[in-house]
Structure 1
Amino acid sequence: MSTTETNLILPTAADVRAAAGRLRGNANATPVMHSRTLDERVGARVYLKCENFQRGGAFKFRGAFNAVSRLSDEERARGVLTYSSGNHAQAVALTGRLLGVKTVVVMPEDAPGPKIEGTRGYGAEVVLYDRAGRSREEIAAELQRERGMTLIPPYDHPDVIAGQGTAALEMIAETGALDVVMTPCGGGGLLSGTALAVKSAAPGCRVVGVEPEWADDATRSFRTGELHTVHNPPTISDGLRTPSLGRYTLPLVMQNVDEMRTVSESDIVEAMRFLWTRMKLVVEPSGAVPVAALLADPGAFAGKRVGIVISGGNVDLASACELFARGA
């Protein structure tokens, strides 16, 4: 797959602004938090957009609601299908409950228990699968053929991408101009949408995506210009275990993102520890990844105003306590 496809219509900053209108009054306007201790440690002024306080516990609600709300009445009547390790699953399930749409979600058996329970709690039918067997995409395609439902994938969808970018729009509206904005990167939906928003609202701002070292497919794709993949990477950041960037997210990342970074598993745990203990923020491993990049390279953005999208806080408490006890 090349970085451009002539027949592909990519979302734009205008789509992000339109999504913000649909989400107004439906999504939470999440807080932007600040820590003087964090500023001192990294030599920058850092703002955290806390999507762990979003409906469903993660930024994913923004993209899911934007996408489902744009479906026709006939499409809504057929129901919505998706696949996800947890946050998009809960977001689609919650959106379905709010809009009266039946939802079916394909989830891995080893997804965090609270995410599976949350998805069911919002009313979705959960179809579990073994990661070592068939892929979630294959199972979803089979269900789509059988049931005629509309597929809303977790990241590679124009309306999902546009919805995710609204978090950065809100952050910049509150903080004013920023020099750098950082987000986690799995399939690239949040990073792509953020880049669209930032390049429109703050053209001089750099956009940086961050991945775990063990799931660095997007970083390799960014640096080579060719699509790279991973298969079930063993990172603790379950939300970033996606196999690759997508048809939409790859060209958007290549066009609008300025830099990609990676962090170790121990870096992620230490960032979680800082956020939990110093800022009293319950953040899941995936959400802590960009903070991990700051703490691991504290002089990288010295003197800059840095915005970070904390992607979510849906964490298995027992697993988190184990991580803190043993380090990574």
Structure 2
Amino acid sequence: MSDSPRDSWKLSLPCTRAEAEALEGDIAAFALLDSPPVLMTSEASSDDGDAWQLDAYFEGRPNAALVRLVQTLVPSARGRKPVLEKLPQADWVTMSQQGLEPVTAGRFFVRNSNADAVPSGYKDFLIGAGLAFGTGQHETTAGCLAMLDRTRRLGHRFGNIADIGTGTGLLAFAALHLWPRAYGTASDIDPVSVEVTADNADKNGVPLGIAPGRLALFTAAGVDHPGIVTRGPYDLVIANILAGPLIELAPSLSGVLEEGGTLILAGLLDTQAARVLAAYRAQGLRLADRIDNGAWPTLRLRKRPAIGWHRPRRWPHGRNGEAPGYGSW
């Protein structure tokens, strides 16, 4: 019987403690992969503090090139034969994320367990380990949370917000916390992510619906859904995806953004930022702010306002994200 595309596989390699510590967070080598593996490291021996093991979990059997890519992450294992095994049917992504440390970004505290104590003064989100990307552990998600918090502290106001490629819904929840009177829209190409977002919304007290202060959910590739288009234009769009899709989506993301509106982009490497920025500058946007979280930058862009009486508007004057005193064209 042939393997199912959803079968789970594990690749194991020995590594050193230093190599294991270097693998914390997002891995630059996986940035262009559609379905990157989940990495876990653990001590291989209680008697040897430098003897560690790398386990890489895959959805589907990895090909030889992907195995070699993982091997490059642990040079000390050069010449050692990797152990590749098919796993029993199980939610290995959830298992791999159990026990992740909480993340603090801006005013937000993101945890995946009720056992984690919430510090005072932070907005708490419980995002359980699961099938969807975006738990808050990833540098890209944490960078977006920090950028949203900074944008609010600078005095920006938004009335219509969209989170494209929402994953777990975390960024949409954070944006609605910062701007509670706004209309909220969240979408993902993966229907599982949309289901996860709905479940997380219930756990975190985020109301769903089409009214102000509520979050409307859509399953769509990018903004390719009539519900997403008709709810626009948006004065804040968030897209934490990957560099390739961000470049491809530049015309459509810019198209649903209100003139003068704000676009927050993440999921790209610092070496890819110039190409991503070039794609959006061609659509009339300019870089307004940047946060670098390791090798993963978060970009805040602004769309150049049109000049003239015929400029289309949905929101009242002053509600398009402009922060008086912080510059404009």
Question: Scaled by the length of structure 1, what TM-score is found?
Answer: 0.36
Q: Which has the higher contact order (CA 8 A, sep 6+)?
A: 1
Higher helix share: 1
CA radius of gyration, larger in: 2
TM-score scaled by structure 2? 0.36
